Structure 1
Amino acid sequence: MNNEVLFSVIIPTYNRGNYLKKAILSVINQEYENWELLIIDDGSTDNTNHIVSQFKDPRIKYFYKQNEERSIARNFGIQNAQGEYICFLDSDDVFYSNHLSVLYKNIQLREFPEGMFHTQIIKNIKGENKKENWFRGLNNKEVVEKLIQGKALYMNGICISKRLFEREFFPSQFSYWEDQHLWIRLLKDHSFFSIDDITSQWNIGKDNSTFDIFKKRSLKKLDKYLGCIDHLEKDLMSKGKLMSKDKIDFLNLKLKKASVFIEIQPKYYFLNLKQFIICSKYINSKELLKLYFKLFKKGIRE
């Protein structure tokens, strides 16, 4: 194989030293060898530095910075990347050994386009594997529709031409749904290339950061989550990129995500009121009251 393309793999991490070694090894063990790995340590206080220092591969670059959440960490990695194509890997997940070789084959086949490539992933939930292929064979318009309807493009399967980041980055003010925010903006203007091969594994367990978002529900997270969705909706609207159907889907998406965080607890009226006030910033009162009534009836039945 003629290694013509340099891939930059970005791993943002925060106090994940116990998981990080497997993620790094999964990059080192790639069949395709022309890569650089940027580990962005977002202010860890554990043994992350020590774990990284054990690897002597010159292709591994370690950056330590103050804790500013993962959007800023990923943007920092993008800004320091030298590769023509950017890949992302969360610190508790792994690439299979074919990840970069599959990407290279497909990029070469399409004559090195500017766009977003997506490989299939295995979702590992506490040891049980499940294949996720919601976006298999779809074009960029179809993918955007699914994203606004609530499906998610997982980070580990994404590879993007670096030139797309000349104007677009992860929204630095958000750390929930921030990746989908960026994907939708990019796909409104650029091509999506679906690849059938399974090349990575997303590990979901009690210590997984995405799992924690929903397990540890809080008013702050509810506000940030809905705020990110609302911010994207307004951004697309201001640029004339929002269709009438999209507006309905955005509303349904907000209601869907809000319902995950809202807990109707008759004994805690103050908490219920706070939840309602936060939601009302992003969802009109009529639709919000319908949601609360639906959840209240569900609570009674249970």
Structure 2
Amino acid sequence: MFLSIVIPTYNRAHLIENTLQRVLDQTCDDFEVIIIDDGSTDNTEEIIQPYLSEKVKYYRIPNSERGAARNRGTELAKGNYVNWFDSDDEMLPNHVSFIKELVEKNNKPEVLHVMYQIKDQTTGKTTTIQSSYSSRQRKRKNFLIEGNYLACNPVIVRRDIALENPFIENRNLSASEDYELWLRLLAKYTFVKSAEITSYLIQHDERSVNTMTDPDKLELRFLTFLKYIDTNKQLKEFLGIDYSYFVMRNYLILAVDLAYNGHKRKGLFYLKKALREHKRALNQRVFWATLKHLIF
């Protein structure tokens, strides 16, 4: 089997049916679907029953957050490659077929990624993430230094490598556990990259990155993330002279998140830390966006 599509889900009964239908609409059927229910309290199990088959399997675990759910799905996977797909997003019909072609053309690469668009659930309007993820960045070895442009849906990892490099199962890292893994993999393996768009990330009010507004949790998430990066010797060596710039970028992103959500004092604190970390902070758009939210 070529691909195992692992779908972690938590209280997405009203969304997962659409996701499953889009997965099953693929033009290439060389895949399996593994749904990991992370302790949902809604009727998820009832909703997905009509979709279960030899191809689509369902497993329920105690609530453990997405990293643990994805790891459990990876352990159950039978495909040569693993794709972690969120239960509120959509595949385009060519997602699996294009990935398979990319793998065959590149002699079974270790890690590969395609791209996606962000679709507004209400309006249907789409935004191409490549507007931020430039061709110049794609050519850089450490192309993720500016931020996490990948999400989970477009990243595909060879199963043996996925098993050797699991997601960190730390709740404090929630919403950054994928970024930490991409960086860890980037320091060890070559990524095959394609600008082909094969999925939609659906933007809606319940998305976890939109609901995380508590200042202490925001702060803890970023500091936990930076601690994992700082204690990974191989990754720090990979980032090299860009490490300080990378830390500065993360301080700025934390600062603007805090300021945007009304936590101005903490936002200012991390804005200052970013300036002290790297002088190029002043050249960043996010620096001035943070100032705007702090002033108005």
| TM-score interval for Structure 1 and Structure 2 normalised by the shorter chain | 0.7 to 0.9
Match of 1:241, SS state, is helix
Deviations 1:175-219 (A, max 9, x none): 121111100110112111122322111100112222223xx3331
Change (3 A) 1:96 1:136: farther
CA distance in 2, matches of 1:130, 1:297: 25
In the TM superposition, residue 89 of structure 1 has moved relative to its aligned partner by 1.1
- Give the TM-score normalised by the residue count of structure 2: 0.84
Determine whether 1:241 maps to 2:256.
no
Which residue of 2 is the match for residue 222 of structure 1?
219
Partner of residue 146, structure 2: 149
- Among residues 6, 9, 13, which one is paired with 2:9 in the alignment? 13
If the length of structure 1 is used for normalisation, what is the TM-score?
0.82
Structure 1 pair 138/71, CA: closer, same or farther in 2 (3 Å)? farther
Counterpart check, 1:66 vs 2:65: no
Is the radius of gyration larger for structure 1 or structure 2?
Answer: 1
Greater Cα offset, 252-261 or 170-179: 252-261
Change beyond 3 A, Cα 1:138–1:105: farther
1:107 correspondence with 2:103: yes
Aligned equivalent of 1:86: 82
- What stretches of structure 1 of length at least 5 have no aligned partner? 266-270
Q: Which residue identity lines up with residue 118 of structure 2 in the other structure?
A: K
Measure the CA separation in 1 of the matches of 2:136 and 2:190. Answer: 11
Q: Distance in 2 between matches of 1:257 and 1:155?
A: 21
CA, structure 1 residues 248+49, in 2 after alignment: closer, same or farther (shift >3 Å)?
A: same
- Partners of 1:200 and 1:238 lie apart in 2 by 29
5+ residue gaps, structure 2, are: none
> What is the CA distance between 1:70 and its match in structure 2?
0.6
Regions of 4+ moved over 6 Å: 138-141, 293-297
Aligned-partner residue type, residue 88 of structure 1: W
Give the 3-state SS of the residue equivalent to 2:156 in structure 1. strand
Change (3 A) 1:285 1:194: closer
Partner of 1:251: 248
Could you tell me the percent identity over the aligned residues? Answer: 26
Number of residue pairs matched?
Answer: 285
Correspondence list, 1:133-212, <5 A: 133=130, 134-135=132-133, 142=140, 144-145=142-143, 147-173=144-170, 174-212=173-211
Structure 2 distance, partners of 1:86, 1:71, is 14
Q: Given residue 211 of structure 2, which amino acid in structure 1 is its aligned partner?
A: D
